[in-house]
């Protein structure tokens, strides 16, 4: 018989921010292949599975390991940080499993984006200010299509959430200015969202780079940009129609 692989989102770091389904699969697993130090080891508490750190493995080595275990009818949990819907590199792994006819399923997780928003105690969309959140990254070792350059996306003046780019913070701010954000635009950096070592650095486009450099943040941090971020500093006075007494919808009639 053949085994199965479960790609599981481990959440942003807090061991309680993994889904019930994900935790149950970890407890059932024979082998857990996890994404290095970015996965909180407390998530493994109670499991009897063998664990392998994937940070030093190539795709070929990873595939060979999965093939060996699933060939013996074992349950393999491939544990990635956050959620799996972006920047998880599961597509290339899934292509290999498909070629080998190895069964797999994908189990979503809690993104560090959600954890960062919770750490700021606010939502990222505010009526009349920003109704769009753009998730992106600066070009580094992995190319980015020119049409999706940071300066191009900045022209929307929406809320930007920038992953995998904190080590290039000065280049990030240059691109944001080039795209049209004002120097006064609020910028927040959240390092290791939901971990005990979480740090939040607030600033504007004009000073965030120097603040980040001063405290020495070089990795594992999100950069959030946009006027909507001002909501966690002071009231915006903007309201949606959802709870407006003068607005009726399928569950409530106009109270006027």
More confident of the two residues 1 and 219: 219
Give the start-to-end residue ranges of the domains of the chain: 4-110, 113-232
- Provide the pLDDT for residue 2: 75
Query: Selecting from 3.40.50.300, 3.40.1010.10, 2.60.120.260, 3.40.190.10, what CATH number does the domain 4-110 have?
Result: 3.40.1010.10
> Residue 46's beta-bridge partner residues?
none
pLDDT of residue 76: 98
Place of tokens 């699969």: 25
Q: Does position 201 have pLDDT exceeding 70, yes or no?
A: yes
**Tokens representing residue 213 in the block:** 């450099």
Position 106 pLDDT exceeds 80: yes
Fold of 113-232: 3.30.950
Mean pLDDT, the chain, integer: 92
pLDDT at 143: 85
Q: Is 128 left (phi over 0), alpha (psi -120 to 50) or beta?
A: left
Q: Which residues contact 203 (CB under 8 A, 6 or more apart)?
A: 186, 187, 188, 189, 211
Q: What's the mean pLDDT in 6-28?
A: 97
DSSP symbols for 58-103: -HHHHHHHHHHHHTTT-EEEEEESB-SSSSS-HHHHHHHHHHTT-E
pLDDT for res 93: 97
Please tell me the predicted confidence (pLDDT) of residue 59.
97
The residue among 26, 20, 111, 100 whose CA lies nearest residue 6 is 26
Predicted local distance difference test score (pLDDT) of residue 247: 60
């Amino acid at each position: 018989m053949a085994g199965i692989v479960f790609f599981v989102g481990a959440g942003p770091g807090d061991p309680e921010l993994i889904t019930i389904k994900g935790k149950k699969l970890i407890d059932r697993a024979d082998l857990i292949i996890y994404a290095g130090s970015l996965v909180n080891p407390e998530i493994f508490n109670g499991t009897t599975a063998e664990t392998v750190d994937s940070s030093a493995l190539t795709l070929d080595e990873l595939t060979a390991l999965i093939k060996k275990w699933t060939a013996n009818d074992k349950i393999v949990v491939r544990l990635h940080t956050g959620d799996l819907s972006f920047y998880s590199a599961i597509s290339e792994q899934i292509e290999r499993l498909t070629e080998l006819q190895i069964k797999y399923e994908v189990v979503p997780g809690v993104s560090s984006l959600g954890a960062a928003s919770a750490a700021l105690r606010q939502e990222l969309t505010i009526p009349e200010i920003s109704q769009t959140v753009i998730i992106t990254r600066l070009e580094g070792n992995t190319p980015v299509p020119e049409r999706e350059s940071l300066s191009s996306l900045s022209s929307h003046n929406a809320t930007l959430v920038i992953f995998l780019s904190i080590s290039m913070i000065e280049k990030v701010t240059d691109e944001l200015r080039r795209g049209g954000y004002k120097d006064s635009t609020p910028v927040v950096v959240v390092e290791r969202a939901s971990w005990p070592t979480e740090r939040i650095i607030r600033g504007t486009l004009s000073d965030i780079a120097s603040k980040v450099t001063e405290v020495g943040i070089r990795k594992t941090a999100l950069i959030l940009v946009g006027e909507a971020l001002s909501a966690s500093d002071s009231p915006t006075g903007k309201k949606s129609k959802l709870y407006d007494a003068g607005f009726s919808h399928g569950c409530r009639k106009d109270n006027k």
